[in-house]
Amino acid sequence: MSDTTKQDVDQMIDPVTGEIIDQKKLAEQLLAQAKEQGVSLVGPGGLLSGLTKQVLETALEAELTEHLGHEHGDTPTGSNIRNGTRPKTVLTQIGPVQIEVPRDRDGSFDPVIVPKRKRRVDGIDEIVLSLTARGLTTGEVAAHFEEVYGARVSKDTISKITEKVAGELADWAARPLDPVYPVIFVDAIHVKVRDGQVRNMPFYVVLGVTVGGERDILGIWAGGEGGEGARFWLQVFAELKNRGVADVLIAVCDGLKGLPEAITTTWEHTVVQQCVVHLIRNSFRYAGRQHRDQIAKALKPVYTAPSEAAAKERFVEFTAEWGQRYPAIVRLWENAWAEFVPFLEYDVEIRKVICTTNSTRSHSYPV
């Protein structure tokens, strides 16, 4: 964050006096006053609850003023006028807060800040989803809210929040896709999943680069513990094709079993590019720890070569130096050579884009 932006965040303008208010100093003053008066920060009657109540009520009053067209106490511009308030308890990120919601005579006021029939303000759903994603059950989430926020949230409410998001995810996963993607990346991420017990589970991500140069996650598929084969990948790519992907120019992937064959079966003319970062990383599995830096240095001329012919020459040199000690590394590169060399036909800028599936994790070209 720049100094200017940070200053804008730390300061605000008093709407009445026009003076600059330092939010940090204001918070320190309020905290000191709360300690002096013996007022707690959170919980019923706490400082944060009182501030939240004041902010929400002020915002609601401003909304009603805009709706009616006149300030409180001014001459009404029409027949509709203020008609007192009604109490309402809303659940916020700091716990339950009781507010007074202003009303109008004809009942046409429909506030945006705290909508009618809604008792959770923005942020609560995100907390529920975050706790659920961490593996907590609906009962544990409900207990967490009661213990931390002093608020009771029913298991049914928690279930409704997660079900709503599940429906939105299903819609996202089935959305139509572009007919052509210049590049797609296929990679696996491992996530701790709670299903009776916590275990690591692979999820496969397909990320596409659009014709306009933007990245878009095309889909995410859960894998099994024993690895996936050609049948699994054919189902994945058939789903993408059914959602509108007619052609892919380059597919960047790791050497997962059956993956390259499934890609070319689905899109006949797609060029399959081996992830260079994974190839280097897999090479380290066969090398002693004391030699890894030397192996990396010796491989660099291979994957940074200006052409395939030059890369072959550098690989012969690598083999002469390290082949006798680490023949498994040589075989690894020989077996992946057909999928490794396509990106050598492009300039450095394009190589940076297509050399690695780590684009899904914002890693860069290994120069």
Q: How do the domains of the chain map onto residue ranges?
A: 125-172, 180-361
In which band, very low, low, confident or very high, does the pLDDT at 46 lie, cut at 50, 70 and 90?
low
CA 353 – CA 182 distance, rounded (Å) = 11
DSSP letter for each residue of 158-179: HHHHHHHHHHHHHHHHT----S
The pLDDT of residue 29 is above 80: no
What is the four-CA torsion angle of 182, 272, 310, 304, rounded to 10 degrees? Answer: 60
CA 303 – CA 315 distance, rounded (Å) = 9
Query: What pLDDT score was predicted for residue 7?
Result: 44
pLDDT digits (tens, 9 = 90+) for 143-190: 766 665 565 666 776 777 677 667 777 888 889 999 999 999 998 887
Query: What pLDDT score was predicted for residue 260?
Result: 87
Determine the average pLDDT of the residues in 265-271.
Answer: 93
> Is the pLDDT higher at 15 or at 44?
44
CA 257 – CA 88 distance, rounded (Å) = 58
Rounded to 5°, angle at Cα 274 from 272 and 275: 130
Own/partner long-range contacts of 351-355 (Cβ < 8 Å, ≥24 apart): 353/183, 353/209, 354/183, 354/250, 354/252, 354/273, 355/252, 355/273, 355/275, 355/276, 355/277, 355/303
239-243, 287-291, 351-355: the lowest-pLDDT one: 351-355
The pLDDT of residue 208 is above 80: yes
CA 175 – CA 301 distance, rounded (Å) = 43
One-letter amino acid of 220? I
Alpha helices in 186-275 (DSSP H): 230-242, 259-266
> Is the pLDDT higher at 211 or at 10?
211
Inter-axis angle of helices 276-284 and 292-303, nearest 10: 150
The pLDDT of residue 302 is above 60: yes
State what percent of residues in the chain have pLDDT above 90.
24
The residues, ordered by sequence, that sit 6+ positions from 138 with a Cβ below 8 Å of its Cβ are 132, 155, 158, 159, 162
Helix (H) or strand (E) holding 219: strand 215-222
Query: What pLDDT score was predicted for residue 294?
Result: 93
Query: What pLDDT score was predicted for residue 359?
Result: 52
Determine the average pLDDT of the residues in 58-75.
Answer: 80
Query: What pLDDT score was predicted for residue 364?
Result: 45
Query: What pLDDT score was predicted for residue 300?
Result: 92
The pLDDT of residue 241 is above 50: yes
Helix (H) or strand (E) holding 250: strand 247-253
**Residue 295, SS3 per DSSP:** helix
In which band, very low, low, confident or very high, does the pLDDT at 124 lie, cut at 50, 70 and 90?
low
The pLDDT of residue 299 is above 70: yes
Cβ neighbours around 355 below 10 Å, total: 27
> Is the pLDDT higher at 288 or at 53?
288
Please tell me the total number of residues recorded for the chain in this structure: 367
**Residue 115, SS3 per DSSP:** coil
The pLDDT of residue 201 is above 90: no
CA 338 – CA 313 distance, rounded (Å) = 16
Q: Which pairing describes strands 271-274 and 197-209: parallel, antiparallel, or unpaired?
A: unpaired
**Residue 194, SS3 per DSSP:** strand
Determine the average pLDDT of the residues in 78-93.
Answer: 81
Inter-axis angle of helices 124-133 and 155-173, nearest 10: 80
The pLDDT of residue 133 is above 70: no
In which band, very low, low, confident or very high, does the pLDDT at 95 lie, cut at 50, 70 and 90?
low
Confidence (pTM): 0.57
CA 65 – CA 57 distance, rounded (Å) = 12
Round the average pLDDT of the chain to a whole number and report it. Answer: 78
Determine the average pLDDT of the residues in 249-259.
Answer: 83
Per the structure block, which two tokens stand in for 134? 């961490």
Per the structure block, which two tokens stand in for 287? 């090398």
- What are the backbone dihedrals phi and psi of residue 299, each rounded to the nearest 5 degrees, phi first? -80, -25
Q: Is 199 within 8 Å of 192 (Cβ atoms)?
A: yes
Per the structure block, which two tokens stand in for 28? 């320190």
Determine the average pLDDT of the residues in 70-75.
Answer: 80
In which band, very low, low, confident or very high, does the pLDDT at 318 lie, cut at 50, 70 and 90?
very high
Cβ neighbours around 3 below 10 Å, total: 7
